Amino acid sequence: MTNIYQPTPANLDLAAQAIKDGKLVSFPTDTVYGLGADVYNSSAVANIFKAKERPLFDPLISHIADIDFLKEYVETDDRAVALAKHFWPGPLTFVLKRKDNNPAVDLACAGLPSLAVRMPNHPVALELIRKSGVPIVAPSANRFKTISPTTAQHVRDSVGEKVDMILEGGPCRMGVETTIIDLTTPHIVILRAGGMAKEELEEFTGEKVYLSHDNPDMPKAPGQLLKHYAPRMPLRINVKEEDVGKDEFFIGFGNVSDAQLNLSPKGDLCEAAANLFAYMREAEKHTEYKGIAMSPIPETGLGLAICRQIAMIFGGRIWVDPTYTCGARFIFAHPIGLGLP
């Protein structure tokens, strides 16, 4: 079980080095305790999903300590800069378009062309980010479908054996997660309600702020974002090596010999999750092929998350069959005509 460390300068140096080394560090923010990793380290980001036992991928929030990060890595305008200067640091997350040279890993962004970013209002969080020298991607430091942690002990009780360090920062002041707003559309849209009230945003901007279900600009609701990225060629999944067609680009997993790309030659599900988006993007560049074939992925642990990710990319889903009593049986549904078997 991981110890809880007081945020002394020496311990903050240790935590920052842990982030640089690709490890997971839990730290306090103004809202809840976060489970942090280097946004540029694909393996570290994949380990967040493993530690949280999260059954599917969602975009993660990058935490920064300097507004200049916005201009360097995302597309900004006067509205975004004004909102940042007024409300940051604070419980408000922006969704902005990533710049082409933004090195944030696809897994942290769920393969989307956008990036979720915020500046937490907590001295320990800000100092850790500064010392790390990188944006820290950090969802709440708890297992999926459990209550978000507002103390260091909550983190230790929930994911203590899966995190490398826990920094003490006292109870979180707010105890609710951030408000997420979409700034990629002409109107400001709240994608998730949280610590910043809609009325506060409207008072500052002098404009109507929309909720995700009443946005006139094709709203993006949580859980639907995954559909925004899908390869432009048909995809077949659970394809054995000997069944790959000559006109298919083969993405393997584990011990296969003839794959053009292998998600993880050693069968590591964390490595596979980290490579999934990048390899699908690479495969679709090879227009000499008519489709993509992908090796079977174990439907356990993070492997199930990968399978659900692929299903949701195409508007499908996976769920547990409640009528099956001889163990656990998963049902996979997908729309017709997308090249899936």
Q: State residue 207's pLDDT score.
A: 93
Here the tokens at position 187 are 């109107």
Q: What is the pLDDT of residue 194?
A: 82
Q: State the angle between helix axes of 302-313 and 269-284 in degrees (0 to 180), rounded to the nearest 10.
A: 20
Q: How far apart are CA 139 and CA 49, in angstroms?
A: 9
Residues of the chain with pLDDT under 50: 55-56, 214-229, 337-341
Give residue 198's identity as a one-letter amino acid code.
Answer: K
The strand pairing partners of 252, in sequence order, are 262
Q: How far apart are CA 260 and CA 239, in angstroms?
A: 14
What's the confidence (pLDDT) of residue 212?
76
Give the residue ranges of DSSP H helices in the chain. Answer: 9-20, 42-52, 68-73, 78-87, 123-132, 152-159, 198-205, 269-284, 302-313
pLDDT of res. 30: 93
Contacts of 312 (CB under 8 A, 6+ apart): 56, 223, 226, 227
Nearest Cα neighbor of 238 from 302, 293, 313, 282 is 293
pLDDT of res. 340: 41
Question: Would you state the pLDDT for residue 146?
Answer: 72
For domain 230-333, is the CATH number 3.40.1190.20? no
What DSSP element (H or E) covers 226?
A: none
Q: Which pLDDT score, from 0 to 100, does residue 300 have?
A: 65
Cβ atoms 183, 79 nearer than 8 A: yes
Pull the structure tokens for residue 93. 């997350």
Q: How do the domains of the chain map onto residue ranges?
A: 4-224, 230-333
Architecture of domain 4-224: Alpha-Beta Complex (3.90)
